[in-house]
């Protein structure tokens, strides 16, 4: 008895599995075929995502040199991805400035506010800006005596048109001095 299974995925990939054997071997062939099919589907899914991302990147003429091995293009992040990237880089920026006393702050002790394409000094240079403010509702901020009715500026992050993550502390805001803290997505 011969079985033929054909599956089309996303119109791009056609998978055919054929099994031969008698009825006593059908169940083992079937489970083996299912395992192979599952692997092919997973492999084609990840290949499809990579191909889709590469096609998207190429069609926009964006360089992917500023991306990690997981192919995250830092020039076109969602707001959630941008905030995750900022939070992942708080340790060597905002937290380094704040963690000088007994209270040890984390990225959850701050809020991240999208400010569009306008920086703290009114810059319009193709970057997207996020203001980082103290979250005075957090337990750590309250333990440090923060006033829950205020929310102080802790600093600014921007993602440049080239996909670099840069930081400017609140203290340096007037000098417009940005420091590159990451060029590959690690959110």
**110-154 pLDDT tens trace:** 999 999 998 888 888 999 999 999 999 999 999 999 998 998 999
Class of residue 174 by CB neighbours under 10 A (exposed 0-12, middle 13-18, buried 19+): exposed
CA distance 39 to 25: 21
Sequence spans of domains, the chain: 2-59, 79-182
What is the tens place of the pLDDT at every residue in 62-110? 333 343 345 789 999 999 999 999 999 999 899 999 998 888 999 999 9
Q: Per-residue pLDDT averaged across 54-58, rounded?
A: 33
Tell me, rounded to whole angstroms, the distance of Cα 74 from its chain centroid. 8
Positions of E strands within 32-184 = 110-114, 128-134, 153-159, 165-169, 179-182
**Percent of the chain surpassing pLDDT 90:** 49
Q: Which pairs count as long-range contacts for 95-99, CB under 8 Å and 24+ apart, including other chains?
A: 97/154, 97/155, 97/169, 98/154
């Amino acid at each position: 008895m011969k079985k033929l299974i054909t599956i089309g995925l996303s119109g791009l990939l056609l998978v055919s599995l054929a099994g031969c054997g008698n009825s006593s071997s059908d169940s083992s062939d079937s489970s083996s075929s299912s395992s192979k099919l599952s692997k092919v589907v997973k492999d084609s899914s990840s290949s499809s995502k990579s191909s889709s991302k590469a096609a998207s990147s190429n069609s926009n003429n964006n360089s992917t040199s500023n991306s990690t091995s997981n192919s995250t293009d830092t020039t076109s992040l969602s707001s959630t991805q941008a905030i995750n990237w900022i939070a992942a880089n708080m340790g060597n920026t905002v937290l380094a400035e704040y963690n000088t006393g007994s209270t040890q702050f984390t990225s959850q002790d701050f809020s991240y506010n999208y400010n569009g394409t306008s920086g703290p000094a009114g810059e319009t240079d193709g970057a997207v800006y996020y203001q980082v403010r103290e979250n005075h509702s957090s337990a750590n901020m309250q333990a440090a005596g923060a006033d829950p009715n205020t929310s102080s500026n802790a600093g600014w992050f921007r993602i440049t048109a080239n996909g670099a993550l840069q930081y400017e502390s609140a203290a340096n805001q007037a000098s417009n001095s940005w420091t590159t803290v990451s060029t590959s997505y690690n959110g």
